[in-house]
Chains A and B, each alone.
Chain A
């Protein structure tokens, strides 16, 4: 009985230590990649290519999702607001929800599933087919040549995608709120403009999406680079990327929101 308990605790402890060890390894990897980002920034064509694959190819899903999220926000928001006679605040509701929260977070989650998993799979497959080893034998640092451009591409693409998501969402909210439901167009936009602050809301939203971009892309490149060089290894690495990135986004969102949006009054 005691032996079994010991066993379970041992396994738990082992799992925790293994995770902490892996986090340390990932941090060293991150530091190394930052130090060796010279190639990615000097030969910017490499990074631009990766921005195409990570950012441009994610545009469709981001724009369409943004549109639908905005439309649903307007629908749901109107239902509740009109009960208190505040249906003119619909613009504020849609804009603030998107710019502060939904834009960075949902765009981040979509980016993690689409681009993050693609990056992990790509790097993992390169490792499995010995392309990484071949590059090393040809005296080219694979982290500088393959990993760093993808990382910077992700960090650059993420805020751009979040902004487009928010913009599309507000447009969707306008379509449903003003055109479909009939909220006053002037009130919709003017109330929104009065309530949304460029520094507090929009800038903070952009900062959030940059932080998410760093987190998601770091996880994606690390899981790819550290994957087992087999088919199952790459597939489980891809899954891990999506799961870990999503959790990281939500956790970071909480921390950042607490820092940014309640700091003023918590004094």
Chain B
């Protein structure tokens, strides 16, 4: 193997690897969409965030408009403080509601934003007032059982 041939092959090898990396980044990963957009931060407090994780998507009308940046616990109000990174392209009114929703039936959790009607828009550092916590499966089941027990009791009494 002479020098020139070796150099050509190594060059091809490195080029192919970079092409592969580009393919992975653009076609496979989300480089094309989000990471380099400008963002502004807002916060929201939730009684229960369920399984919400950092980097979870924030969607409005089903479209991803941001990502969860940080999750903290407020030791005074015993609530969760979640920080959102919202894409600067999208403005939301001050009275926008944030809900913790589940994708699919048992899928991963994300934040859904429902725009309000206020004329003033949110800016960086603002706090969302209206929040709805995650649905916790155990509470749902105990609620269902409780309701079922109450129905049966009523049914028995009316007999």
Contact = CB atoms under 8 A, between A and B. Distances in A.
Chains A and B share a contact (CB less than 8 Å): yes
Interface of A: 45, 48-49, 51-52, 55-56, 59, 95, 99, 157, 159-161, 163-164, 166-168, 170, 189, 192-194, 196-202, 206, 264-265
A202 B17 CA distance: 14
Interface residues on B, range: 20 to 34
Contact of A56 (B9, B20, B25): B9
B149 interface: no
Nearest to A200: B55
Nearest to A57: B9
B53 A196 contact: no
Given A52-B10, A164-B16, A197-B55, A95 B28 contact: yes
B35 interface: yes
Contacts, number: 81
Interface string B25-58: 1011111110100000000000000000111010
B29 A167 contact: no
B8 to A, nearest CB: 10
A45 B3 CA distance: 9
Nearest to A47: B10
B17 A160 contact: yes
B146 interface: no
A250 B86 CA distance: 39
Contacts of A45: 3
A96 B53 CA distance: 18
Given A193-B33, A198-B31, A51 B13 contact: yes
B52 to A, nearest CB: 11
